[in-house]
């Protein structure tokens, strides 16, 4: 009898503990929970018939969660961030009775986690940093993760932002006639890719400067021959993920191709400067150009520019190695070059007075460069946000209010930054770049504002200004800002195309096709055949149809 009782008791306890265990998980797992919160949110916003600014009810104190990509700061850095946030939240509470918290999406697998967080739709985030080219702004807008921002809402709750963004720019933020994004359209930056290299070594190699792929080969020839004299680990400690940038860089330099952003990671489709609205895929159409590319890259591979098993590398510390002179190039964009060419504490290569960093940008040979799409950085409001109005009010302040802007972007004046006599931003005494770089913690890339920016004194403006001028003179505006492709019907083709392109292009870009017993011609032919089999012509035709409907 006793045994029976104990058994019954044990079973009951286990069952009870399981039930409580389930209670916690259920809310997350239950798919029905998402639509309910969401309906509540839309209803709340739908009821507003644009009250005048003075009528806005801010009696309830709310917390606005701002979601950004980036690793959350720890220890001392976190303390400094919190000190800034406390000050900022004091102001935000005074002005709109709200406070801001930062919700980080760490860099590891950031795109998956970013999308997953948005898909939860549980109201855990309000303001969402997004981008149409490197974060899935449009797919998420389509899937219903972002709130439609009506003109009345923007006029009422984010009036300064509404006024500062011209109508043409708002038009570029629309999908199906609704505004989803608030663009970072007043901030000069260049994110066109290229190779950052050492000008002093290029001179030693007999080159005045590197301004073509052929020059790069000559430069690599020199640095690999003098690798140990120069103290290099490798000419370029590339990881296996750079194949796409390299290939599209080659295409930019050898054609007048302009790619369409946001279709797929490899940006295969686009038009040409001469005929922008006829869709082409140079990697598929122009085999001759790709064979030349394949041969050049095989040369690089033979020189031993990257590690032999580069395809199995997913991470490398190449940029940091560049700062300390352990590698000879870094492949990234102009904005990164402005950092690497500047004589900051991190860049120890400049302890050598001869050291200089140049930038060869893709397309430099024929002046093929496109200005940044204004939705390269933008802010959206979550459709599940409980307080979308207040989220807009907070955004309006951190984007347009001088005091909030400085705090959020630079930190506390006198601690994290200061202004010198020339009005440039400097680092105050005792500044520690590891713990006081507020800019690197708030990761605010979704509404920076040149009206409020203070130029950084540590940047090498003597080199940067001419580069900006050079790019500005060559660049054209991004021509497809209004094109939001509808890919539902062709997504499965795009997935498969992406997959075969990635596989074949990795072998071509790293000159590894000979390991498979192929010649350059055969490797390019295989790419062509695989893309064809994966349905690239179907996708091109479908996109052309959408292009025609929009532009003709």
Q: Which is nearer to other proteins, 15 or 52 (CB)?
A: 15
Measured distance CA(232)–CA(82) in Å, rounded: 40
DSSP state of 175: E
**Is residue 150 near other proteins by the rule CB under 8 A?**
no
Residues 182/161, Cβ–Cβ less than 8 Å:
yes
Determine how β-strand 127-130 pairs with β-strand 62-69.
parallel
Choose which of 207, 524, 534, 536 interacts with other proteins (CB under 8 A): 534
Choose which of 48, 71, 143, 521 interacts with other proteins (CB under 8 A): 143
**Is residue 167 near other proteins by the rule CB under 8 A?**
no
Please count the residues of this chain forming the interface with other proteins, following the rule CB under 8 A: 62
Specify the stretch interacting with other proteins by CB under 8 A; choose among 87-95, 117-125, 162-170, 361-369.
117-125
For the bound state, the minimum distance from the C-beta of residue 66 to other proteins, rounded and expressed in Å, comes to 20
**Is residue 176 near other proteins by the rule CB under 8 A?**
no
**Is residue 200 near other proteins by the rule CB under 8 A?**
no
**Is residue 178 near other proteins by the rule CB under 8 A?**
no
Choose which of 50, 53, 188, 533 interacts with other proteins (CB under 8 A): 533
x/- letters, 473..492, toward other proteins (CB under 8 A): ---------------x--xx
Write a three-state SS string for 209-274: CCCCHHHHHHHHHHHHHCCCCCCCCCCCCCCCCCHHHHHHHHHHHHCCEEECCCCCCCCCCEEECC
Q: Which is nearer to other proteins, 196 or 328 (CB)?
A: 328
**Number of neighbours of residue 186 by Cβ within 10 angstroms:** 18
**Is residue 315 near other proteins by the rule CB under 8 A?**
no
DSSP-H helix ranges across 491-552: 491-509, 520-533, 536-551
Specify the stretch interacting with other proteins by CB under 8 A; choose among 196-204, 252-260, 404-412, 505-513.
505-513
**Is residue 27 near other proteins by the rule CB under 8 A?**
no
Q: Which is nearer to other proteins, 8 or 63 (CB)?
A: 8
Residues 306/238, Cβ–Cβ less than 8 Å:
yes
Choose which of 111, 188, 541, 550 interacts with other proteins (CB under 8 A): 111
Specify the stretch interacting with other proteins by CB under 8 A; choose among 7-15, 61-69, 98-106, 473-481.
7-15
**Is residue 309 near other proteins by the rule CB under 8 A?**
yes
**Is residue 274 near other proteins by the rule CB under 8 A?**
no
Run of H or E including 295: helix 287-303
How distant, in Å, are the alpha carbons of 83, 119, 321, 427, 440 from that of 434? 16, 33, 17, 13, 9
Measured distance CA(267)–CA(265) in Å, rounded: 6
Site for other proteins in 229-248 (CB under 8 A): 240-241
For the bound state, the minimum distance from the C-beta of residue 161 to other proteins, rounded and expressed in Å, comes to 25
Q: Which is nearer to other proteins, 202 or 264 (CB)?
A: 264
Measured distance CA(387)–CA(391) in Å, rounded: 6
Measured distance CA(13)–CA(54) in Å, rounded: 57
For the bound state, the minimum distance from the C-beta of residue 220 to other proteins, rounded and expressed in Å, comes to 18
Choose which of 153, 327, 378, 494 interacts with other proteins (CB under 8 A): 494
Dihedrals phi, psi of 355, to nearest 5 degrees: -65, 135
Q: Which is nearer to other proteins, 314 or 420 (CB)?
A: 314
CB within 8 Å of 477: residues ≥ 6 apart? 370, 371
Choose which of 264, 327, 380, 394 interacts with other proteins (CB under 8 A): 264
For the bound state, the minimum distance from the C-beta of residue 474 to other proteins, rounded and expressed in Å, comes to 31
Closest CA to 214 of 253, 248, 255, 251: 253
Closest CA to 543 of 485, 499, 478: 485
How distant, in Å, are the alpha carbons of 92, 189, 249, 377, 454 from that of 449? 19, 11, 29, 12, 10
Q: What are all long-range contacts of 247-250, with beta carbons under 8 Å and residues at least 24 apart?
A: 247/283, 247/293, 247/505, 247/508, 247/509, 248/362, 249/193, 249/194, 249/362, 249/363, 250/213, 250/289, 250/293, 250/296, 250/362
For the bound state, the minimum distance from the C-beta of residue 305 to other proteins, rounded and expressed in Å, comes to 13
Measured distance CA(359)–CA(218) in Å, rounded: 15
For the bound state, the minimum distance from the C-beta of residue 293 to other proteins, rounded and expressed in Å, comes to 17
Choose which of 189, 212, 498, 546 interacts with other proteins (CB under 8 A): 498
**Is residue 43 near other proteins by the rule CB under 8 A?**
no
- Site residues, other proteins (CB under 8 A): 4, 7-8, 11-12, 14-15, 18-19, 22, 25-26, 29, 31-32, 34-35, 38, 111-112, 115-116, 118-119, 121, 136, 139, 142-145, 240-241, 264-265, 307-309, 311-312, 314, 383, 488, 491-496, 498-499, 502-504, 506-507, 512, 515-516, 533-535
């Amino acid at each position: 009898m006793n045994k029976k009782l104990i058994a019954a008791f044990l079973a009951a306890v286990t069952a009870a503990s399981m039930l409580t265990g389930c209670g916690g998980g259920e809310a997350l797992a239950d798919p029905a929970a998402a639509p309910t919160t969401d309906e509540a949110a839309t209803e709340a916003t739908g009821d507003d018939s644009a009250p005048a600014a003075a009528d806005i009810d801010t009696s309830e104190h709310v917390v606005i969660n701002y979601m950004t990509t980036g690793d959350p700061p720890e220890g001392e850095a976190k303390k400094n961030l919190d000190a800034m946030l406390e000050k900022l939240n004091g102001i935000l509470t005074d002005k709109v009775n709200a406070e801001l918290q930062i919700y980080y999406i760490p860099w590891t697998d950031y795109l998956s986690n970013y999308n997953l967080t948005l898909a939860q739709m549980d109201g855990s985030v309000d303001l969402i940093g997004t981008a149409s080219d490197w974060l899935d702004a449009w797919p998420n807008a389509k899937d219903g993760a972002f709130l439609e921002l009506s003109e009345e809402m923007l006029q009422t709750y984010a009036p300064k932002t509404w006024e500062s963004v011209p109508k043409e720019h708002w038009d570029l933020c629309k999908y199906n006639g609704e505004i989803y994004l608030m663009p970072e359209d007043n901030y000069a930056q260049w994110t066109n890719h290229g190779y950052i290299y050492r000008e002093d070594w290029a001179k030693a190699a007999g080159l005045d400067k590197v301004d073509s792929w052929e020059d790069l080969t000559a430069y690599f020839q020199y640095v690999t021959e003098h690798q140990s004299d120069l103290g290099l680990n490798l000419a370029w400690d590339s990881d296996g993920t750079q194949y796409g940038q390299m290939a599209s860089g080659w295409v930019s330099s050898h054609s007048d191709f302009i790619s369409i952003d946001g279709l797929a990671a490899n940006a295969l489709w686009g038009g040409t400067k001469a005929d922008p609205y006829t869709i082409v895929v140079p990697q598929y159409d122009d085999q001759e150009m790709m064979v030349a590319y394949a041969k050049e890259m095989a040369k690089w591979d033979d020189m031993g520019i990257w590690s032999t098993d580069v395809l199995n590398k997913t991470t490398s510390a190449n940029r940091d190695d560049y700062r300390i002179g352990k590698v000879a190039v870094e492949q990234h964009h102009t904005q990164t070059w402005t950092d690497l060419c500047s004589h900051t504490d991190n860049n120890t290569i400049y302890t050598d007075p001869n050291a200089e960093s140049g930038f060869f940008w893709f397309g430099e040979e024929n002046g093929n460069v496109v200005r940044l799409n204004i939705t390269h950085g933008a802010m959206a409001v979550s459709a599940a946000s409980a307080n979308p109005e207040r989220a807009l009010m907070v955004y309006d302040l951190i984007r347009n209010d001088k005091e909030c802007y400085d705090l959020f972007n630079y930190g506390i004046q006198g601690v994290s930054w200061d202004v010198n006599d020339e009005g440039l931003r400097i680092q105050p005494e005792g500044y520690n770049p590891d713990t006081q770089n507020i800019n690197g913690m708030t990761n605010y890339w979704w509404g920076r504002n040149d009206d409020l920016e203070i130029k950084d004194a540590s940047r090498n403006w003597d080199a940067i200004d001419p580069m900006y001028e050079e790019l500005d003179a060559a660049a054209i505006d991004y021509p497809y800002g209004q094109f939001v492709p509808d890919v539902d019907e062709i997504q499965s083709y795009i997935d498969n195309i992406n997959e075969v392109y990635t596989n074949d292009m990795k072998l071509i870009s790293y000159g590894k096709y000979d390991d498979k017993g192929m010649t350059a011609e055969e490797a390019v032919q295989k790419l062509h055949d695989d893309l064809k089999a994966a349905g690239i012509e179907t996708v091109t035709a479908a996109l052309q149809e959408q292009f025609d409907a929009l532009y003709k």
